[in-house]
């Protein structure tokens, strides 16, 4: 195994997204981008795979309208290098477009043995990029992977499905989409964060990925993005603990919940 690529998405941290109570629109101002949590397990899967093939190159891959700031964070999580494609045209990219760009980057890299995606992203959770990428590259797709082992160029993978676990074998090259339980995603150490500054990040263009500007035109027209009306009352029972608890117990008893 010579080259392992891990795809990741740079997404807003939804814990800091607020809803404008009047317009029901999302207030994204306080929300900072971060590496999609699911992809952190994907990056660590790459690190574990590379540990078995120390001569292999581990590459982080991403694309989007403003992904350059992601590279340091990604590199602190293990890849030797990151290839990113920053293009404002990707602001409204759906899985159709994103998977084409990722496939273009993987082709640009050449001879990638294993492409690792995660199950989905915390913003849209469409769960499409892995299998789409496989179909575009002509690689087999193995999705919902919860365990990985390797013997030479043959991977043995556990897939966690609704009915149970399916164990499969497949020869590289392959695209695998890993579930969060595939491995832990450790928080990068200070040493790793400092080390990331010395690793290279390579900017690519659409032309590098073999795509024209037309090929990434948004396919989908977004009519609206609105938060549904919350039916929850969000009653603040106060900060005086005994008093708040007494109010809560009375309320729950009244609703027949105790």
Partner 1 sequence: MRDIWIIAENLPWAGTLAAGAASIGKGAKIVAFVNGDEAEAKAVIAQGAAEAFYLPLPAAAPWEGYAPALAEKAKADKPALILLSTSRRCRDVAAQLAAVLDAPCFSEGKNIVLTESGASVETMLYGGLAVKSSSVSAETVLVTVGAKDFEPLPADASRSGPVGTLPLAAGPVAVVGRKPRAAQTVDLAAAVKVVGVGRGVAEEGDLAIVRDLAEALGAEVGCSRPIAEFFKWMPEECYIGISGQQIKPQLYVAVGISGQAQHYFGIRDAKTIVSINKDKESLMNQNADYFIAADWKAVVPELIKAVRGA
Q: Is 210 exposed, middle or buried (0-12, 13-18, 19+ CB in 10 A)?
A: middle
Distance in angstroms (rounded) separating the CA atoms of residues 82 and 53: 19
Q: Which of residues 120-149 bind partner 1 (CB under 8 A)?
A: 120, 122-136, 140-144
Residue 183 tokens, joined: 């491995």
Q: Which is nearer to partner 1, 76 or 143 (CB)?
A: 143
Q: Which is nearer to partner 1, 15 or 88 (CB)?
A: 15
**3-class state of residue 233 by DSSP:** coil
Query: Residue 222, interface with partner 1 (CB under 8 A)?
Result: yes
Query: Residue 210, interface with partner 1 (CB under 8 A)?
Result: no
**Please, what is the minimum distance in Å from the beta carbon of residue 197 to partner 1?**
26
Is residue 73 within 8 Å of residue 19, measured between CB atoms? no
Q: Which of residues 233-252 bind partner 1 (CB under 8 A)?
A: 233-239, 241-242, 244-246, 248-249, 251-252
**Please, what is the minimum distance in Å from the beta carbon of residue 153 to partner 1?**
12
Bridge partners of 57, per DSSP, are 3
Q: Which of residues 82-111 bind partner 1 (CB under 8 A)?
A: 94-96, 99
Query: Residue 150, interface with partner 1 (CB under 8 A)?
Result: no
Is residue 66 within 8 Å of residue 10, measured between CB atoms? yes
Residue 213 tokens, joined: 């500007």
Distance in angstroms (rounded) separating the CA atoms of residues 55 and 78: 14
Query: Residue 65, interface with partner 1 (CB under 8 A)?
Result: no
Q: Which is nearer to partner 1, 44 or 73 (CB)?
A: 44
């Amino acid at each position: 195994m010579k080259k392992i690529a891990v795809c990741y998405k740079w997404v807003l941290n939804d814990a800091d997204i607020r809803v404008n109570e009047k317009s029901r629109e999302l207030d994204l101002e306080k929300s900072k981008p971060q590496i999609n949590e699911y992809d952190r397990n994907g990056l660590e899967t790459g690190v574990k795979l590379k540990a078995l093939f120390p001569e292999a190159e581990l590459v982080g891959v991403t694309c989007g309208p403003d992904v350059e700031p992601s590279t340091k964070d990604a590199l602190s999580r293990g890849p030797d290098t990151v290839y990113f494609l920053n293009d404002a045209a990707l602001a409204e990219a759906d899985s159709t477009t994103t998977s084409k760009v990722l496939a273009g980057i993987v082709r640009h890299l050449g001879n990638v043995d294993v492409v690792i995606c995660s199950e989905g992203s915390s913003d849209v959770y469409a769960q499409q990029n892995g299998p789409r990428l496989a179909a575009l590259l002509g690689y087999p797709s193995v999705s919902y992977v919860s365990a990985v082992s390797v013997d030479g160029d043959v991977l043995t993978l556990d897939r966690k499905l609704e009915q149970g676990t399916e164990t499969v074998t497949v020869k590289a090259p392959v695209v695998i989409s890993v579930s969060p339980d595939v491995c832990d995603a450790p928080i990068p150490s200070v040493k790793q964060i400092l080390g990331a500054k010395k690793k290279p990040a390579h900017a690519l263009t659409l032309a590098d990925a073999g795509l024209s500007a037309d090929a990434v035109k948004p396919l989908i027209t977004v009519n609206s993005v609105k938060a549904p009306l919350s039916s929850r009352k969000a009653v603040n029972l106060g900060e005086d603990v005994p008093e708040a608890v007494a109010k809560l117990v009375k309320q729950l008893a009244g609703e027949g919940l105790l």
